[in-house]
């Protein structure tokens, strides 16, 4: 039996989207096969994906989202994935505002003409919530030779501010930080540097084990760490990963909000 999918990307972070009712026994194995950049499914000229979003509509007006990563594992939250899930759901629901149930908690989505906005929860610097293998927060401390700040924005992130993200060899700097002992569950690794509009972003993702064109929880992490370190004062911060531009709102109290565009790339069928 074939498995139907749709493909979306949010500022270049691309996902296969499947209904949970599709005939797949092992979504982790499915993600390993079809997300592979060399041998995975090809849509619109790009092979593979940064993950598989397994979705369902529950109770008529709520979306349940689970992310399976290219290494077969899962992650509690994905900001761009939630934006793609919201686009998928808006085509099926009669409303443009609804809740998305994720393992990191309930997230509210607003689907507009141009941008899709997700409430991302309240970011945490608490060691037990990131999690960190120590009792103190990790703010601007050296980890594997880089000045790292750690935050959880639904998943664990390490943020490193540099002069120019484009001159750093992310593929070699990120793995030691991603696997550092201080992160017992690993971390996604973000580089940020000042740009004219806000910050440039590059992210090495856990589970993809490589650089992605965009990462929503990473953009929120950069904005919230920039705020914490006193690098910005505005509540709205523009963050530009290689795949586009995201806007992050970081209020004093309350949840961060991530917004940006989503594109539908196509649909098809693959083997389970
Ligand atoms: N790309 C996602 C994050 C996935 C996080 C995952 N790579 C992990 O924590 O293991 C985003 O837009 O927020």
ipTM attached to this prediction? 0.98
Q: How many Cα atoms are found within 13 Å in the side-chain-facing hemisphere of 12?
A: 15
pTM over 0.90: yes
**C-alpha 194 – ligand 1 centre gap (Å):** 22
Question: Are 94 and 147 found together in one domain?
Answer: no
CA of 216, closest atom in ligand 1: 12
Q: Of 199, 204, 225, 214, nearest to 123 (Cα)?
A: 225
Q: How confident is the model at residue 157 (pLDDT cuts 50, 70, 90)?
A: very high
CB 241 within 8 A of CB 257: no
* Chain mean pLDDT for the chain: 97
Q: Of 213, 205, 226, nearest to 156 (Cα)?
A: 205
205 annotated to bind ligand: yes
Question: Are 9 and 116 found together in one domain?
Answer: yes
Q: Ligand 1: which of 215, 246, 257, 261 to mutate, judged by most atoms within 8 Å of the beta carbon?
A: 215
b/e map of 142-152 (b: 16 or more CB within 10 Å)?
Answer: ebbebebbbbb
Residue 136 domain-assigned (yes or no): no
Q: Ligand 1: which of 73, 78, 79 to mutate, judged by most atoms within 8 Å of the beta carbon?
A: 78
- CATH number for 201: 3.10.310.10
**C-alpha 21 – ligand 1 centre gap (Å):** 24
Radius of gyration of the chain (CA): 18
Name the domain count of the chain.
2
Question: Are 29 and 95 found together in one domain?
Answer: yes
Is residue 94's pLDDT more than 90? Answer: no
Provide the 8-state DSSP code for 92: T
Torsion on CA atoms 148, 150, 153, 156, rounded to nearest 10: 100
37 annotated to bind ligand: no
User: Is any ligand 1 atom within 6 A of the Cβ of residue 79?
Assistant: yes
Question: Are 97 and 195 found together in one domain?
Answer: no
CB 24 within 8 A of CB 226: no
**C-alpha 75 – ligand 1 centre gap (Å):** 7
Residue 226 domain-assigned (yes or no): yes
How many C-beta atoms surround the C-beta of residue 166 within 10 A?
A: 11
The stretch 173-188 carries a mean pLDDT of 98
Question: Are 172 and 75 found together in one domain?
Answer: no
Question: Are 156 and 248 found together in one domain?
Answer: yes
Domain, as residue range, for 165 = 141-253
Task: Read off the pLDDT of residues 50-84 as tens digits, 9 standing for 90 and up.
Answer: 999 999 999 888 999 999 999 999 999 999 999 99
């Amino acid at each position: 039996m074939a498995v139907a999918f749709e493909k979306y990307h949010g500022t270049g972070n691309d996902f296969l989207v499947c209904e949970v009712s599709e005939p797949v026994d092992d979504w982790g194995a499915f993600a390993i096969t079809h997300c592979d950049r060399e041998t995975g499914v090809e849509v619109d000229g790009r092979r593979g994906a940064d993950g598989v979003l397994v979705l369902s509509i529950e109770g008529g007006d709520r979306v349940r989202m689970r992310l399976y990563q290219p290494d077969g594992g899962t992650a509690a939250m994905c900001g761009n994935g939630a934006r793609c899930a919201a686009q998928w759901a808006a085509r099926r629901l009669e409303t443009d505002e609804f809740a998305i149930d994720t393992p990191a908690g309930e997230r509210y989505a607003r689907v507009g003409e141009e941008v899709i906005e997700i409430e991302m929860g309240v970011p945490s610097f608490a060691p037990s919530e990131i999690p960190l293998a120590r009792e103190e927060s990790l703010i601007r401390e050296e980890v594997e030779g880089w000045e790292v700040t750690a935050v959880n924005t639904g998943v664990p992130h390490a943020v490193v501010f540099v002069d120019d993200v484009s001159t750093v060899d992310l593929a070699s700097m990120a793995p030691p930080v991603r696997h550092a002992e201080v992160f017992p569950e690993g971390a996604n690794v973000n580089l940020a540097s000042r740009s004219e509009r806000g910050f440039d972003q590059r992210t090495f993702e856990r589970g993809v084990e490589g650089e992605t064109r965009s990462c929503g929880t990473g953009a929120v992490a950069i904005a919230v760490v920039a705020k914490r370190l006193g690098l910005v004062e505005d509540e709205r911060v523009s963050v530009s990963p290689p795949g586009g531009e995201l806007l992050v709102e970081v209020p004093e109290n309350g949840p961060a909000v991530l917004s940006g565009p989503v594109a539908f790339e196509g649909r098809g069928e693959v083997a389970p």
